[in-house]
Structure 1
Amino acid sequence: MINQIYLRRKNKLILNKSNEPTPQLHNIATSAANFESLGYSLSKPIIDILYTYSSDQLNEFYLSTFHSLKELLGADKTYKPMYPNFPQQVMKASDAELYMNAVIHYASIGAILPQYEQQTRLPLYDRTKLQLIALGSMDDFLTIFRNLLSSKTSLSESDREDLAYVFASLPEHVEQIIPQDIPLKENVALLGKLIVENNLNYKLLIQYVKTAIDVLRLAVSLSDGDISLAANTRFKSFKRKERRLLLALLENCGSIEEDMKRYKNRWIRLGERLHPAEYKQFTKANEAFSKLRNNEDIPTFNGLVAQALQNNQIDDAIRLLSKRPGEFARKLDQLLRMHPKPQSVIESFQLVADKVETAVLLQVREHFKHRNKDKEKRVFFPKGNVAKMYVIDNTLPAIDENVCEAAVRLCENSLIEAYKQKEPLGKVYLDEALKNYIVPFSQRSANKSIKSVVRGSKIDIAESTSIRTFLYWKDGSNEWGTDIDLSAVMYDDSWGYLEHVSYTNLRSAKYKSCHSGDITSAPAGASEFIDLDIQSVRNFGGRYIVFSIHSFSGEAFNELPECFMGWMSRENPNSGEIYEPKTVENRLDITSDSMICITMILDLYENKVIWTDIALRTEPDYANNVEENQMGMVLMGKALTSLVKPNLYDLFKLHIEARGELCGNIEEADLIFSVDKGITPFDLDIIVADYL
């Protein structure tokens, strides 16, 4: 399992030399060739170690590693689309044949599929770039999880699962994993749960829990709730030692009443589970619970700020906010709009900017860089475990451009000063392609994928003639079967609708695009594919292609045993198998609590994939399909393709200005930031720990 995680996260393995070498040249060569069939190659250090293995050791290595790669790519599944000779078969079939096959399949509630002989397919003609599997170490493996706990941003479900495994399986390394500082409170709650569930020393936790909200998050985490506190939690019945721990931690915090009032109802529910009155020694906690239950007045900082702003007492609000610089940063735009002398707001913020988290400063900097640009919509990604996005009209009045520039300079100067405190970087090569990759501020609701990419990032499309997307799922609890649909909608440069390919329209002769057939039941697993001819879509004015997945049968994706989607670049779509693992560019597990997911958008003018992984609320008039959700898809598409967020190029450039020397020659660089060398956009654990 350790190597399975290491392989997925870093393309690395931990291997040790054997004491009784029995060279297996032929078997090693065969194994290497089989790995290449999945798009991977073995590094020389790994092959050197394999030369020391016995036959049994080599077999064990091969079977476990090959299975892990197949599972990662989705190649461990059997793909049987409705039309086994896709895509050529669908393009050549008559409309009547496609129609009657669909009618019979639907009438049988998914039990009857058309019977076709599968023709012998030509061998794969596509040229593929192999990914190198490198030799790693236990120290390097553990560093991943130390980095995750050191992160200033939220972690994905995949991150949390991996951490849970490491804490449970490697308890002897736990103290090596836990960092001296855990800046994000959500990660403190996650650490607390791991310590409690694995019966580790509670003293490992005490130094990180400093506020009542920290204690609330820990209780939520132990109850498997949303530690972002965006949603309410049904608290579990805590064991007696867990109740004592939570109350002791609460008693040990400073002022707790104000923080508890912020989440008053949740604390009252939690109190019903903790029974604080049974523990008379926790006097401060008991008094706070009593005040909440009896509705006694507890003044709050946010209430005082809101009152000052409501009464137009802007300078009073600034004096209050200066005590909490992070809140000052978040309200900076509002203060600049309200104050008659915006420059005085900038001057006040300058006095406390060095105390603001660098992640917040980066976002404030980006906001004011683009503050007055003519943007039709504003986009928000709310906290929570579901990948939602809110889009509203942009009605913000303009702020003087000189004031905006001053805010940007102030944030930049504060960031550079903060980064100067870190170790020097030496000569650094910085790849301009990193401008297409978004800084990972939140991965909380990101689905597990081969390459973890931040929403809104733009990935180059490999040189190929077509894109093939694939969908695989298994039935959930619906007795009539589970019907999940893969769709692609084509739009022009102005987001005018051109065409769609889905279960309602299996092919488009004009755009040379087709669907492999709609399967409506998957007790043993089912798959659908869509092929798009890139140049044909371009030739007829297509620019954007939105790929989405719809649950027609009504189950949420997280209710299914399995559901994933991905895409391949194919030069010769009728050669090779329909599913060729070595051509897979990325694969994404669909696990959100929703029934529509917009997974990615192609921009054929820029020749890029825009990674979206967004859940869309279901509000169709008749059916959950692409036709009934056009308005939402266009709105989301416009927002995601015009998204303005801090990018990795700007982040690394600030670090270089603070503690490095920009180097134009990659060969002379001590450190490389690029898409495929050195520190890449996929090294999220390093970025969130060392550069945010």
Structure 2
Amino acid sequence: MRQFDAVLMSAGFKLSREAMEHLAGLDEGTVVDFAVRTLGVVRREVGDHVRHNTYFKDFPAGVPDTVDFWARCLAEALLDPAVIEAGGLDGLTAGGSLNLLALPSYGRYLHTYEEMLAAHDELIPSAGDRVTVLHLGGTVDDEASRLYLALAGGRAPLGEDDLDALRRLAGHCADGPQPEAVPVRENRAVINRVRLAAGRELLVDTVTDVLRLAWALSAVEGEEEPEPARFRSLARRERRALLAALDGVVAASPAKLGDVPPYREQWKRLGERLHPHEYPRWPHAARVFAVARGEERVRSFSARVQAAMAAEDVPGAARLLTAAPGVLFRSLDWLARSASSEEERRVVLEAAGSAVERVSGRVLLSMREHLVNRVESRGGSRVFVNRHGRAWVADDRREPLDADLAGRLCALLDAEVTRRLPEVGHLVVDRDVWQVALPLSGKSSPSGFGVLPRGSVSPVEGGLLRFFIHWREREERTDFDLSALLLDEDYTGASHLSWTQLTGFGGEHSGDITSAPEGASEFINLDLGRLEHRVVVPQVLIYDGEGFHEVAESFFGFMTLDAEQAGAPFEPATVRMKSDLRGAGRGALPLVFLRGEDGRWRAKWLHLFLRGAARFNQVETTGVTATPLVRTFVDREFLRVRHLTDLWAAKAGTVSFLGEGDLPDAPVTFVGMERPEELPEGSQVFDLTNLADLIPA
């Protein structure tokens, strides 16, 4: 067990006291088997499951000047008998320019992984190296049930990997405990698919729930939204269940037929699969398809609201929207900036107050974040991000909000969130978690190790910052490039490190690798003490080949080291974050590093993707798009964990901070980055694994 713990520590992990005591009581063979499995998992978590070689064997030392390096490759090529036989210099040029890919010594490893390791000293341990504690879990069934209930009952939309985990767990846990409620509709569709197969009652309260379930039965892996002409043929049992559910929803509330027109084409295609005319016992379900075909005219709810706003009847629109509280709060900005008198602003505030108790906590907190950014000037730009992480910036042409009305709305939201937070006896807060953004949505958040929600800010400790990528192509030659866009405080004076600029500005690039059949890595090393720029934007660009969602594997991460630390280019104990790259687009912006007025560096998490060109993306061209996007996100205020813990403190019996005095002997409620070992038994823990549970229902 001690040998296992020692090997774990070399990767930046350590067993908790409880886990060590448990393993110490097992026989040797069991511990060895457990250690092998666990080491494989934790090494994959930080990216240590692959061999991270570098083009320049001595990196970060020994990286040459870019032009000198290219000239050396050319000279070696001109002396190569194979190149001479193929036409010499003529065979190395294309369109009058030197073709680097034609140079035999360019773009591929010229030494083995073992030879690269032999050129480096062993890692010098530092007090600043990461140590992640592994706690003892329960049985497989207990842990599966716990995770299933957490995912199914979560209050924020899930990312692709978590949604896939929910699909697997829903079947495994079908006969076990079920969540009291499934508030996120995508999750509900996943669970309904399992319930349908088991012949159980479906969880539906809108017609769109049924549409989502039909889509889930037919969906291509990874797709969630209903789309026309994609529904598969359904079994008679499935058709009966869907039509019965539809009939029940419409019979209970005919007004919900107003949800049909926005998805008219999808409903028509689904009707071709369900054959509602064969089931006269469910006449209310048949009305759904009559509305979709235009045979029955139903004015949608949004159309009535639009008509009121077109007539400049803001009070009428606000009162109408109280029937749909979630829509009302998503429309508050529209209502607030359209209100032209104190009376109209009063009606808007009263409508919000009358509906606030019926709105989900996630919508309340999302609107709170929105209002902060609408009242304070943010540079006149709006940023949009779709569920795949693709982002773009547009000018903000909206009228500013009335500051007084926005302030009163914020007070209303804070009061309601505080009311919903549970009363706790002793609240313990780790101040390190204060700058983490509340995970109001996980749709475009990547899976990985140490990954924080978009908008989070975390400190960057150590004198050296080193970020890296690794990718492995699936079918065709694929060239990913790691670059760093370097900007001044006002986002001008752009410089960069990339395969076209290997050294300079206090940094080094590990060298360009142009294919990865067995996997390839690239690194950028920055000496933060020598770096004059104040903004560093890592970019992962697809120069050629397969996309992020097509390659067999791709991930990004960063490490921090003390300036005097030696070691290999990749040392797992120094990895602070590693995230999978699986979004849309031909360029990725995982995060941005910022130097503050105090001289300290911090990371702000982006999780964004650029559209880019089909081929030949370079930082020299993508920087034009990336710069305004990054600036808009840096300027944007995100609602952070501190906002919620400050509200919660008002309802706690006592409040203390981790590391500032001893913890009480009785159970506490803890909010922090990771669970400390010394917590009393029975304590409730909110850490990076379940921060979304902080969002009140």
- Aligning the two structures, in what range does the TM-score lie when normalised by the shorter sequence? 0.7 to 0.9
- Report the 3-state secondary structure (helix = DSSP H, G, I; strand = E; otherwise coil) of the residue aligned with 1:446: coil
**What letter matches 2:371 in structure 1?**
F
1:282 matched to 2:282: yes
The residue aligned with 1:260 is 260
In structure 2, relative to structure 1, the CA distance for the partners of 1:277 and 1:452 (3 Å cut) is: farther
The residue aligned with 1:13 is none
Task: Give identity over the alignment, percent.
Answer: 25
The residue aligned with 1:474 is 472
**What letter matches 2:242 in structure 1?**
L
CA displacement at 1:378 relative to structure 2: 4.1
In structure 2, relative to structure 1, the CA distance for the partners of 1:387 and 1:295 (3 Å cut) is: farther
1:208-251: per-residue Cα shift (whole Å, max 9, x none)?
21110111111222223677638767323333333332222212
Q: Distance in 2 between matches of 1:109 and 1:230?
A: 50
- Report the 3-state secondary structure (helix = DSSP H, G, I; strand = E; otherwise coil) of the residue aligned with 1:559: coil
- Report the 3-state secondary structure (helix = DSSP H, G, I; strand = E; otherwise coil) of the residue aligned with 1:137: coil
In structure 2, relative to structure 1, the CA distance for the partners of 1:432 and 1:161 (3 Å cut) is: same
CA displacement at 1:492 relative to structure 2: 0.9
- Report the 3-state secondary structure (helix = DSSP H, G, I; strand = E; otherwise coil) of the residue aligned with 2:458: strand
Q: Distance in 1 between matches of 2:219 and 2:582?
A: 16
The answer to whether the 8 Å contact 2:538/2:590 transfers is yes
Q: Structure 1 stretch 231-240 or stretch 134-143: which is displaced more?
A: 231-240
CA displacement at 1:617 relative to structure 2: 1.4
Q: Distance in 1 between matches of 2:6 and 2:491?
A: 45
- Report the 3-state secondary structure (helix = DSSP H, G, I; strand = E; otherwise coil) of the residue aligned with 1:318: helix
Q: Distance in 2 between matches of 1:295 and 1:497?
A: 62
The answer to whether the 8 Å contact 1:126/1:571 transfers is no
Q: Distance in 1 between matches of 2:244 and 2:12?
A: 53
1:456-486: per-residue Cα shift (whole Å, max 9, x none)?
1011112x121111111112333xx101111
CA displacement at 1:607 relative to structure 2: 1.6
- Report the 3-state secondary structure (helix = DSSP H, G, I; strand = E; otherwise coil) of the residue aligned with 2:673: coil
The residue aligned with 2:152 is 149
CA displacement at 1:295 relative to structure 2: 5.0
The residue aligned with 2:501 is 505
Q: Distance in 1 between matches of 2:485 and 2:407?
A: 40
Q: Structure 1 stretch 389-398 or stretch 350-359: which is displaced more?
A: 389-398
Gaps of 5+ in 1: 1-27
Q: Distance in 2 between matches of 1:62 and 1:72?
A: 15
Equivalences for residues 61-210 of structure 1 within 5 A: 61-90=34-63, 92=64, 95-101=67-73, 106-107=101-102, 113=108, 115=110, 118=116, 119-127=118-126, 128-138=129-139, 139=142, 142-168=145-171, 170-171=172-173, 174-176=175-177, 178-196=178-196, 199=197, 201-203=198-200, 205-206=201-202, 208-210=203-205
Gaps of 5+ in 2: 75-97, 677-683
In structure 2, relative to structure 1, the CA distance for the partners of 1:487 and 1:395 (3 Å cut) is: same
Q: Structure 1 stretch 600-609 or stretch 233-242: which is displaced more?
A: 233-242
The answer to whether the 8 Å contact 1:448/1:588 transfers is yes
The residue aligned with 2:436 is 437
Match of 1:559 among 550, 555, 558: 550
The answer to whether the 8 Å contact 2:54/2:109 transfers is no
Q: Distance in 1 between matches of 2:520 and 2:204?
A: 47
The residue aligned with 1:303 is 303
The residue aligned with 1:492 is 488
The answer to whether the 8 Å contact 1:228/1:383 transfers is no
The residue aligned with 1:685 is 690
Q: Distance in 1 between matches of 2:669 and 2:475?
A: 51
**What letter matches 1:175 in structure 2?**
G
Match of 2:528 among 529, 534, 537: 534
CA displacement at 1:431 relative to structure 2: 4.1
CA displacement at 1:313 relative to structure 2: 1.6
The answer to whether the 8 Å contact 1:148/1:689 transfers is no
Give the length in aligned residue pairs: 643
In structure 2, relative to structure 1, the CA distance for the partners of 1:545 and 1:111 (3 Å cut) is: closer
The residue aligned with 1:39 is 12
The answer to whether the 8 Å contact 2:130/2:576 transfers is no
The residue aligned with 1:544 is 535
1:387-429: per-residue Cα shift (whole Å, max 9, x none)?
123322233323332222211111122222233xx3x211223
- Report the 3-state secondary structure (helix = DSSP H, G, I; strand = E; otherwise coil) of the residue aligned with 1:654: helix
CA displacement at 1:108 relative to structure 2: 5.3
CA displacement at 1:382 relative to structure 2: 4.3
Q: Structure 1 stretch 333-342 or stretch 481-490: which is displaced more?
A: 333-342
- Report the 3-state secondary structure (helix = DSSP H, G, I; strand = E; otherwise coil) of the residue aligned with 2:347: helix
1:333-391: per-residue Cα shift (whole Å, max 9, x none)?
2222222221232123222222222221222233334432122144444453x012332
Match of 2:604 among 604, 610, 620: 610
The residue aligned with 1:16 is none
In structure 2, relative to structure 1, the CA distance for the partners of 1:351 and 1:35 (3 Å cut) is: same
Q: Distance in 2 between matches of 1:403 and 1:252?
A: 41
- The TM-score, its normalising length taken from structure 1, stands at 0.87
1:244 matched to 2:245: no
1:270-300: per-residue Cα shift (whole Å, max 9, x none)?
2223333333433222232133224542111
In structure 2, relative to structure 1, the CA distance for the partners of 1:518 and 1:232 (3 Å cut) is: farther
CA displacement at 1:553 relative to structure 2: 0.8
1:161-202: per-residue Cα shift (whole Å, max 9, x none)?
32233344x44x7532x2111112121112123445xx4x23
The residue aligned with 1:20 is none
Q: Distance in 1 between matches of 2:552 and 2:109?
A: 26
- The TM-score, its normalising length taken from structure 2, stands at 0.86
The residue aligned with 1:55 is 28
Q: Distance in 1 between matches of 2:604 and 2:326?
A: 31
In structure 2, relative to structure 1, the CA distance for the partners of 1:662 and 1:51 (3 Å cut) is: closer
1:6-55: per-residue Cα shift (whole Å, max 9, x none)?
xxxxxxxxxxxxxxxxxxxxxx2222211111111112222222223223
In structure 2, relative to structure 1, the CA distance for the partners of 1:457 and 1:230 (3 Å cut) is: farther
The answer to whether the 8 Å contact 1:148/1:688 transfers is no
The residue aligned with 1:359 is 362
- Report the 3-state secondary structure (helix = DSSP H, G, I; strand = E; otherwise coil) of the residue aligned with 1:75: coil
1:472-510: per-residue Cα shift (whole Å, max 9, x none)?
1112333xx1011111111111001342111111111xx
- Report the 3-state secondary structure (helix = DSSP H, G, I; strand = E; otherwise coil) of the residue aligned with 1:485: strand
The residue aligned with 2:458 is 459
The answer to whether the 8 Å contact 2:507/2:524 transfers is yes
